[in-house]
Chain A
Amino acid sequence: GQQLNQSPQSMFIQEGEDVSMNCTSSSIFNTWLWYKQDPGEGPVLLIALYKAGELTSNGRLTAQFGITRKDSFLNISASIPSDVGIYFCAGLTSGSRLTFGEGTQLTVNP
C-alpha cells in the first residue's frame, strides 16, 4: 500500500525558532494535507494543498505541494509554546482514501 515517510520524528526547539518538517512518498497524491493533534483531541486541519507547486500560508504556517506530487513540507515560523503537538501529513489520491505520515512530535521550550 501507499506509505508516507515523515521526518523528523521529533523536534525540540527554543521559542522563536523556525521549524521545518516534510513528507515524501513513492506514490503520487492529488491532495496534501497537514494536521495538528493536541493531547486528548483529534487532528485539526492546518493547511490543504491541491495543486503541484502550490505554496499556501496560514498565519505563521507555510506549506508546499511538491512539483513531483510525491512530497510536501510544512514550515512554522517564530514558534511559540502553543505550537507544541504532533503534526501529521496526509495524502489523498483520487477519491477519499487518506494516507497518513507517522507524525512529527514538536516540543517548544520557552
Chain B
Amino acid sequence: SAVISQKPSRDICQRGTSLTIQCQVDSQVTMMFWYRQQPGQSLTLIATANQGSEATYESGFVIDKFPISRPNLTFSTLTVSNMSPEDSSIYLCSTQEHSNQPQHFGDGTRLSIL
C-alpha cells in the first residue's frame, strides 16, 4: 500500500487561528479522505478530497470551517479554520486505491487549541 505522510504530526494553536495540514502520498491514489478522531473516540469522516474539484463534505462539516484542496493524485491539504478548543482532535488522512478496497491511513496530526 502507499506510504502516507502527514505534516505537522502535532501542533498547539491559539484560539481563532487556522492551521493547514498536509497529506503526501508516495504514489498516485484514486481516493483521498480526511477524518477527525476526537479524544477517546472513533473516526468520523469529514470529507472526500476530490482531485481538481471541490471536496464532498459529510453532514455536520462545512467548507468554510474545513477547506480542503487536492491539486493532484498524490497530495491534499485540510485547513482547520478559526479554531476553538472543541477542534482539539487528531486529524487523519486516508487513501483508497479502488472502490470497495480498504483505506490506509497516515499517522495523523494531533491538534490542541488553547
Which residues of A line the B interface, CB within 8 A? 1, 30-31, 33, 35, 40-45, 48, 50, 88, 92, 94-98, 100-103
Contact = CB atoms under 8 A, between A and B. Distances in A.
Majority-rule SS of A interface residues? loop
B51 interface: no
B107 A40 contact: yes
B43 A100 contact: yes
B55 to A, nearest CB: 13
12 contacts: A31-B100, A33-B102, A40-B110, A41-B108, A43-B105, A45-B1, A88-B43, A92-B102, A95-B100, A96-B31, A96-B96, A97-B45
Interface residues of B, number: 25
Interface of B: 1, 4, 31, 33, 41-45, 48, 59, 92, 94, 96, 99-108, 110
Nearest to A44: B105
A95 B30 CA distance: 12
B92 A42 contact: yes
Closest 8 CB pairs of A and B: A42-B105, A100-B42, A42-B107, A100-B43, A48-B102, A102-B42, A43-B105, A42-B108
B102 A45 contact: yes
B101 to A, nearest CB: 8
Contacts of B103: 33, 96, 98
Contacts of B4: 42
